[in-house]
Amino acid sequence: MLNIILLGLVSFFSDISSEMVYPLIPLYLTSAFGATPAMIGIIEGIAESLAGLLKVFSGYVTDKHYNKKPVAFIGYATGLIYKIVLLAASSWAGILIARVIDRIGKGIRTAPRDVLVAESADKSCMGKAFGIHKALDMAGSAIGIFLAYLLIANAGGCYNYKRIFIISMLPAIIGLIIILLVKEKKHTETKSRKEPFWNHIKELNGNLKLYLLVAFIFTLGNSSNTFLLLKAKNVGFTDTNVVLLYLVYNLTAAFLSVPFGRLSDKIGRKKLLAGGYLTFTAVYLGFAFAQNSAEIIAIFIIYGFYTAMTSGVERAFIAEIAPAELKGTMLGVHSMLVGTALLPASVIAGFLWHFFGAFAPFAFGASLSLIAALILIFLLNRKYT
């Protein structure tokens, strides 16, 4: 359990750092560089897709060489480089480079970190373990967002954004120190471990392959959260209040991640994941039709329910049914597919918004999430519900 707490604290401080910056990026792009929703979609899509592509390779390296902790450390350290490039950026292209660097770091660290969590947990409490990690992760996000709000609430202008970028480096450094305390499980090298994972694709659990397909379909409609923030701004929220909305979302997810993780241990991952996708459908329909501030606030709270119901649970599900020698790789493959889908998802959302208005991208996302939920409900083998 100590290892899980330490890994959670690493994510806690890392997310304080990253979330002090993330909700400000669309605001910074529009106010400082005049970026359009379509341009923001392209920037976020490219950054997230590159991260996804890297996750499968970091997972493969983790499985082949057992270098979980060093690989994760490198991924978290990249967050510091991200902030430096943000400070130096003088155009939207510079922001794109910074976002790519940040997402590369996430792509490197995610799979080995998840394997460390899985190996540190009892099989009967896998959902709880990932729930604890996700709760600390989201709590860090909430604190980072609140700090960003405090720093930006009393002043405006680009130079204030850059001051936040500088301050955000400190928690990232603390996270890097904590990861040095994490203990990695020792393994014995075997010949079978040297075989490429694609040699065993046909042997993978059918439910795992189906869920990877479902995740891809779902993500095609799950565009960047920047569009949620832009929608709130269009309804009438100020830049500082938009940051508070994102705080409400993260607090909700943080409080509910452990209870939902425990619930998945009792009722099964499938039921909770399907419920999460249906919740997402309701959230995106809400964003499509929302016309006032009260509706937007309620939808952001419900969005926190969706994240708590799915984020840790899906990783626990994959860790359970993936072959032991391919656990990191399969977690990486899942992240790669999600990341690959994020590029067209964000680009499509940006252009739908540009040509048809704010309603279109949310209606599109709601439709695909409903399809993903129905596939999960009716086609996933009951043996694993």
Looking at residue 191, its pLDDT comes to: 44
148 is in which domain, residue-wise?
2-181+203-384
| pLDDT greater at residue 106 or residue 197 | 106
**43, 29 contact by CB (below 8 A):** yes
The mean pLDDT value for 361-374 works out to 95
Looking at residue 60, its pLDDT comes to: 63
With a pLDDT cut of 70, the percent of the chain lying above it is 88
Does the residue 302 lie in any domain?
yes
The number of beta carbons lying within 10 Å of the beta carbon of residue 322 is 22
Q: Give the CATH number, domain containing residue 277.
A: 1.20.1250.20
Looking at residue 220, its pLDDT comes to: 92
Does the residue 194 lie in any domain?
no
| pLDDT greater at residue 197 or residue 13 | 13
Please count the structural domains in the chain.
1
pLDDT digits (tens, 9 = 90+) for 254-310: 999 999 999 999 998 999 999 999 999 999 999 999 989 999 999 999 999 999 999
Does the residue 300 lie in any domain?
yes
User: CA-based angle 287:49:4, to the nearest 5?
Assistant: 85
Does position 31 have pLDDT exceeding 90, yes or no?
Answer: no
The mean pLDDT value for 158-168 works out to 78
Does the residue 86 lie in any domain?
yes
| pLDDT greater at residue 330 or residue 271 | 271
Does position 170 have pLDDT exceeding 50, yes or no?
Answer: yes
**224, 98 contact by CB (below 8 A):** no
How many whole angstroms separate alpha carbon 253 and alpha carbon 175? 21
Amino acid letter, 345: A
Of the candidate ranges 157-171, 179-193, 201-215, 316-330, the one whose mean pLDDT is the lowest: 179-193
The number of beta carbons lying within 10 Å of the beta carbon of residue 195 is 11
Query: Global pTM?
Result: 0.79
Query: With bands split at pLDDT 50, 70 and 90, how would you rate the model's confidence at 253?
Result: very high
Looking at residue 16, its pLDDT comes to: 93
Does the residue 189 lie in any domain?
no
Does the residue 198 lie in any domain?
no
Question: What token pair was written down for 33?
Answer: 């560089």
| Residue whose C-alpha is closest to residue 314's, from 374, 363, 257 | 257
DSSP 8-class letter at 268:
-
Does the residue 71 lie in any domain?
yes
| Residue whose C-alpha is closest to residue 346's, from 223, 228, 225 | 223
Does the residue 315 lie in any domain?
yes
